[in-house]
Amino acid sequence: MTTRSVKSRRVSRTSFRLRAGKCWQLYLLFLPVAVWYILFCYVPMRDIGIAFRKFSVIRGIAGSPWVGWKNFEQMFAAPMFWRAFRNTLIISMENLVIGFPFPIVFALLVNEIPWPKYKKGVQTISYLPHFISWSVVGGLVYMLFSLNTGTVNNIIRAFGGTPRNFTGMNQYFRGIVVGSGIWKDMGWSAIVYLAAIAGVDEQLYEAAYIDGANRWNRLWHITLPGIRSTISVMLILQVGNLLNINFDQIYILVNDMVLETGETLDYYIYRVGLYSTNNFSQATAVGLIKALIGFVMVLGTNLITKKLTDGEGGIW
């Protein structure tokens, strides 16, 4: 190791200590998040070898026989796996194409409200559903689309139509999943974009107003470019979680009549690993494949975003 590299490391350590000393409150706030990720995301990775063994609870991980790629071969040969994989991709793409722009558009609309009190009221009401558990939201969805007493079917019946069991029909289930997810998390997700909009320089708006730019011109040429980096980061994170559909949502809403279009990979892992066959090895194999695909998609999306934004976007 050269003298220059040693000095640079000492300087970096010293600068980190100075920053940590000045911003110790921020590091203290971050500490619970770091502990949570270490305990629930990194510590479980030590047991990843279950995917390559015929796991037995009695024998333990070390005592279970090594089977190599057999669990993965069985996984890829199972039609139920490919059904769950297809459903996960379709629902995730619908969430990405339909659900991702909603918080951005909502944040832009809220930002245009000229009355501060009304603006705060809209924000508060919009992100309240985020704090409602999926158990309650699932009950509301079933009440809304109930065949006999649901509001939607009552309206259909009032106009002379035939009521339908929306929550038990494959052609409607994905729409219900996407719509309920948007309703629950749109306001909460918009907070990030509202914070980014608040950071745009006000002088740019004033200069554009003096030059005769209307609201649409200011939004298109100032607001959206100003939050482009935030949008790119949120897009990368969502693409990285493309195979991670909210398990609570699916668990509450899915039923045997809509498994053809509603069973996702997380629900498949639950059924294989805990509910039906107790095959922990294959469930771990599916989880490992999910993680690898998500990692590759994060890298790819980050690279594409940086090229499209001339290096301004991206996580690193």
Tens-digit pLDDT profile for the chain (316 aa)?
Answer: 555 554 455 555 666 677 767 777 888 888 999 999 899 888 888 888 888 988 888 888 888 889 888 989 988 998 999 999 999 999 999 998 999 999 999 999 998 888 888 888 888 898 899 999 999 999 999 999 988 888 899 999 999 888 888 988 899 999 999 999 999 999 898 999 998 998 888 888 888 888 888 888 888 888 888 888 888 888 888 887 888 888 899 999 998 889 899 899 999 989 888 877 778 888 888 888 888 888 888 888 778 777 766 666 666 6
Please indicate, yes or no, if residue 131 is contained in any of the structural domains.
Answer: yes
For the record, the structure tokens of 199 come out as 């950071």
Please indicate, yes or no, if residue 145 is contained in any of the structural domains.
Answer: yes
For the record, the structure tokens of 43 come out as 């510590």
Q: Which amino acid is at 271?
A: R
Count of the separate structural domains present in the chain: 1
What CATH number is given to the structural domain containing 162? 1.10.3720.10
Please indicate, yes or no, if residue 32 is contained in any of the structural domains.
Answer: no
Please indicate, yes or no, if residue 20 is contained in any of the structural domains.
Answer: no
Contacts of 95 (CB under 8 A, 6+ apart): 178, 181, 238, 245
Task: Give start and end residues of each alpha helix (H) in the chain.
Answer: 3-22, 24-37, 60-63, 70-77, 79-94, 101-111, 116-127, 134-144, 151-158, 170-198, 202-210, 215-218, 224-226, 228-240, 247-253, 259-262, 265-270, 280-308
Residue 63 CA to its chain's centroid (Å): 37
Domain hosting 270: range is 75-308
Please indicate, yes or no, if residue 59 is contained in any of the structural domains.
Answer: no
Please indicate, yes or no, if residue 15 is contained in any of the structural domains.
Answer: no
Cβ proximity of 163 and 153 under 8 Å: yes
Residue 51 CA to its chain's centroid (Å): 25
In this predicted structure, what is the pLDDT of residue 183? 92
Please indicate, yes or no, if residue 5 is contained in any of the structural domains.
Answer: no
Please indicate, yes or no, if residue 58 is contained in any of the structural domains.
Answer: no
